[in-house]
Amino acid sequence: MKPLVFFLPGQEDLAAKLTTHLDGEPGNVVTHSFPDGETYLRVASACRGREVVLLQSLDHPNKKILPLLLLGETLRDLGANRIRLVCPYLSYMRQDKQFQPGEGVTSRYFAKLVSTYFDGLLTMNPHLHRYHSLSEIYSIPSEAADAGPDLAKWIKSFIKNPVLIGPDGESEQWVANIAGKIQAPYRVAKKERWGDREVRVSMPDLTAFRDHHPVLIDDIISTGHTLIQAVAAIQEQGLEAPICLGIHALFAPGAEENLKRSGVQRVVTTNTIAHSTNGIDISETLARSLRNF
Ligand code: R5P
């Protein structure tokens, strides 16, 4: 039987694409926000015994998580057979250790919460830095799809003679992978961070690549400061303005404008989070990963 694909408002475009690639059936849920801010939900599709996929990217997670858990519980009460959460952007992955005394390791608490409500989790390029895999913190079956091949395909189609650049050590994992797929050279910078918007990016020597087209690649674009610093450091070495590729277009207020003002040539992101910079569709990759999951 075809899986039923549910989503909450805001995911319409990706949900339609994912449903098509999965050969699924769109689930119907009616939502309403009461004047006091509570959420009303009514599932209008018969889901007893059905395989359910619940799509929800968790950017701005605090306001999304409760309606999502309520929908998960409603589907379970209505007899859904297996409920898997497809979360193209998975939040709360960056607080993966206690950096200061008194802090909580919120990635663990968030994982515990999600693991209580769903039977499986599929996400895309989660921010795995100090954790090696999702299973270190998620107790349900979990899988991380990789947007790398989609990024590689985009670069191959649109950029001649690219040099790929990662803005920090964490980025090496996906930059090296993408470079290998398209036989392009790559380099990785070093980043120091003092605060949300205080970062310094030191580039390795790029002068041998002055005739290349620089492509900066990061997993998350949030305040944009990592990429802004990286763009400046690349241009200081006499290379042309880079193109910035991001997997998750979080874009904090003002980030897009600041990034565009930094002299970047173009910013292109995947549609794990709906945003005006989306130019790389990952829905087919997500569907393939879900089928193999
Ligand atoms: C952090 O290590 C990530 O890979 C990104 O580089 C970071 O989240 C980007 O954040 P921002 O855009 O705020 O500099």
Amino acid at 241: A
The pTM of this model reads: 0.95
The two tokens of residue 109 are 């608490």
For residue range 112-157, what is the model confidence (pLDDT) as tens digits?
999 999 999 999 999 998 999 999 999 999 999 999 999 999 999 9
The reply to whether 191 belongs to the active site is yes
Q: What is the pLDDT of residues 28-82, one digit of tens each?
A: 999 999 999 999 999 999 999 999 999 999 999 999 999 999 999 999 999 999 9
The ligand 1 atom nearest the CA atom of 252: 13
Q: Please check whether residue 85 is in contact with residue 72, taking contact to mean a CB–CB distance below 8 angstroms.
A: yes
Ligand 1 centre to CA of 246 (Å) is 10
Which of 218, 245, 256, 257 maximizes ligand 1 atoms within 8 Å of its Cβ, making it the mutation to test the pocket?
Answer: 218
Question: How far is Cα of residue 138 from the mean position of the Cα atoms in its chain?
Answer: 17
User: Degrees (nearest 5) of the Cα angle 215, 130, 54?
Assistant: 80
- Residue 202, SS3? strand
Give the chain's domains with CATH numbers: 4-146+282-292 (3.40.50.2020), 148-271 (3.40.50.2020)
